[in-house]
């Protein structure tokens, strides 16, 4: 038993072991959040059928992510005497946020345009995946659009930044250099969004948000950027 404990301590103390543990946690977190969100909306699905399943899930899922992220952060920090708000970077940003945030956004837009042009040349079908999404969004009822703005435009950015640039970035950076941590979190952020073109977009956006969070020492600028991007995406899709 003692040898197992020693081996375990060495494993989680190493950089590779820590990356494996945190990445496994991130995957498990996603699965757990999906399960909890599904359980929460199940009573409504049983009563109303599956007509509004997408709307219910899109509203419940970010709330579950936010709740679980705070819960796990409290469990992790309580044993170490750290304030959970500080660990999640829920604090006032440094003054450099005033110029770093717009500068990072500009760089992201330039890189995104270049990457989308390259993707269009290499695979037009992948680059045009958003057309199906646009059709779905543009045909939505007014109440569905309002719910989308609230859930996707406001709640989701808060939840995702709390998880990715708050919890996960803080966990990875305990053993890794901050740049490496930002890249790993951006990769996970991109993979979590599924489609290839969306994944590429969110990867570069994740790098931007990670850089801004690192430089400002707060997730608030990242949350605002994320809200801005999601709300603009909804506007664009509704007019496509």
pTM of the model: 0.90
Distance CA 39, CA 150 (A): 21
Angle between helices 196-216 and 220-238 (to 10 degrees): 150
**Neighbour-count burial of 3, counting CB atoms closer than 10 A to its CB (0-12 exposed, 13-18 middle, 19+ buried):** exposed
CA 86 to chain centre: 19
User: Would you list the domain boundaries of the chain?
Assistant: 2-238
pLDDT, one tens digit for every residue, the chain (240 residues): 777 788 777 888 899 999 999 999 999 999 999 999 988 887 776 665 566 666 677 788 999 999 999 999 999 999 888 999 999 999 999 999 999 999 999 999 898 888 777 767 666 665 555 555 545 555 555 666 778 888 889 999 999 999 999 999 999 999 999 999 999 999 999 999 877 677 788 999 999 999 999 999 999 999 999 999 988 888 877 765
Query: Residues near 52 by Cβ (< 8 Å), separated by ≥ 6?
Result: 44
pLDDT at 167: 97
The per-residue b/e assignment along 176-186, b for 16 or more CB within 10 angstroms, e otherwise, is: beeeebbbbbb
Q: Is 83 helix (H, G, I), strand (E, B) or coil?
A: coil
**Cα dist from 3 to 7, 10, 20, 206, whole Å:** 6, 11, 21, 40
């Amino acid at each position: 038993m003692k040898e197992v404990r020693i081996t375990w301590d060495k494993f989680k103390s190493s950089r590779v072991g820590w990356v494996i543990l945190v990445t496994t946690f991130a995957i498990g977190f996603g699965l757990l959040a999906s399960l909890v969100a599904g359980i929460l909306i199940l009573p409504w699905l049983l009563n109303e059928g599956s007509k509004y399943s997408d709307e219910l899930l899109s509203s419940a899922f970010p709330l579950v992510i936010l709740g679980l992220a705070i819960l796990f952060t409290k469990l992790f920090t309580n044993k170490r005497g750290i304030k959970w708000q500080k660990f999640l970077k829920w604090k006032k940003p440094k003054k450099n946020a005033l110029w770093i945030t717009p500068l990072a956004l500009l760089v992201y837009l330039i890189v995104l345009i270049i990457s989308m042009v390259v993707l269009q040349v290499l695979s037009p079908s992948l680059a045009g995946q958003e057309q199906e999404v646009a059709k779905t969004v543009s045909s939505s009822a007014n109440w569905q659009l309002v719910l989308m703005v609230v859930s996707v435009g406001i709640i989701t950015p808060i939840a995702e930044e709390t998880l990715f640039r708050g919890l996960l970035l803080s966990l990875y950076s305990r053993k890794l250099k901050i740049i490496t941590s930002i890249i790993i979190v951006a990769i996970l952020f991109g993979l979590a969004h599924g489609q290839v073109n969306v994944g590429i977009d969110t990867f570069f956006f994740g790098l931007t948000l990670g850089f801004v969070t690192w430089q400002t020492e707060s997730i608030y600028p990242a949350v605002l950027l994320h809200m801005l991007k999601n709300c603009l995406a909804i506007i664009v899709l509704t007019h496509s």
